[in-house]
Structure 1
Amino acid sequence: MGGDEKVFTLGQVSEHNNPKDCWLVINGKVYDVTNFLEDHPGGDEVLLSATGKDATDDFEDVGHSDNARDMIAQYYVGEIDVSTIPKKIKYKPPNQPQYNQDKTSEFIIKLLQFLVPLAILGLAIGVHHYTKSS
């Protein structure tokens, strides 16, 4: 990186967010893609929606070709001051009790120990009443 390169804040880049003036931040670099909006295969809305933030994930998720990666170099205008980009917060799921297969098995066994004798008793009573009434 030479000393003559421009360094922009995210706030400065965010001001370039319309079809007549569109800048993107990709991989720490700032690109003025205004002249490419009409030619972008995904349409200009895709590029315009990526302004005002770090668009690296958007760019990478699409799976751009090597040609597209080479082409973007012609739109380079400078670097982004990374300290102005908000840090991504990694999602941390809430603490929840773990599913315990052993406790579930214990519950099923206890339930069966209660229900099976009841079923046998019910069957015995039913057979007894049936044979008595015949």
Structure 2
Amino acid sequence: MAGESKVFTLADVSNHNTAQDCWLIIDGKVYDVTKFLEDHPGGDEVLLSATGKDATDDFEDVGHSSTARAMMDEYYVGKIDSSTIPGKVKYTPPKQPHYNQDKTSDFIIKILQFFVPLAILGLAVAIRFYTKSA
């Protein structure tokens, strides 16, 4: 990494997104990993899936060794202009009506409100017919 670093935009890096020309961003630095694709212990698919974008999270999630981190210098091509990388958007779930865990009891109450008066009416009719015939 001798000398002055070239500064790239995300658009610049995004143009290098094939197995023949594979660039990615890790910790604000741009790496041309094209020559490393065949030697990558995790396979070339891992690098190709991260090509042309900020792969910092992917890189950190794997937990690379200090040896792997030292090898990165060989593939360094410059820095990324961080103003060209979109900020992370915090996920906010859509607003939903409050979930009533007692929905079942509401349903039972509505059924009872219908059947209890019906039962009382039926009982009253039965008593009327029973007392009339006696």
Alignment of 1:5-44 (within 5 A): 5-44=5-44
Alignment of 1:1-134 (within 5 A): 4-61=4-61, 63-67=62-66, 68-101=68-101, 104=103, 107-108=106-107, 110-111=109-110, 113-114=112-113, 117=116
User: Which residue type is aligned with residue 35 of structure 2?
Assistant: N
Q: Summarize deviations over 1:54-104 as a string: whole Å, max 9, x none.
A: 11222233x1332323332332222100111123333322211111336x3
**Partners of 1:94 and 1:44 in 2: how far apart?**
38
**Partners of 2:25 and 2:76 in 1: how far apart?**
10
TM-score by length of 1: 0.68
**Partners of 2:35 and 2:3 in 1: how far apart?**
27
Moved more, 21-30 or 109-118: 109-118
Give % identity.
62
Gap regions ≥5 residues in structure 2: 124-134
**Partners of 1:56 and 1:42 in 2: how far apart?**
16
User: Which residue type is aligned with residue 63 of structure 2?
Assistant: H
**Partners of 1:71 and 1:116 in 2: how far apart?**
78
How many residues align? The count is 124
Contact 2:22–2:32, Cα closer than 8 Å, also in 1: yes
User: Which residue type is aligned with residue 48 of structure 1?
Assistant: L
Contact 2:22–2:52, Cα closer than 8 Å, also in 1: no
Question: C-alpha root-mean-square deviation of aligned residues, in Å?
Answer: 3.4
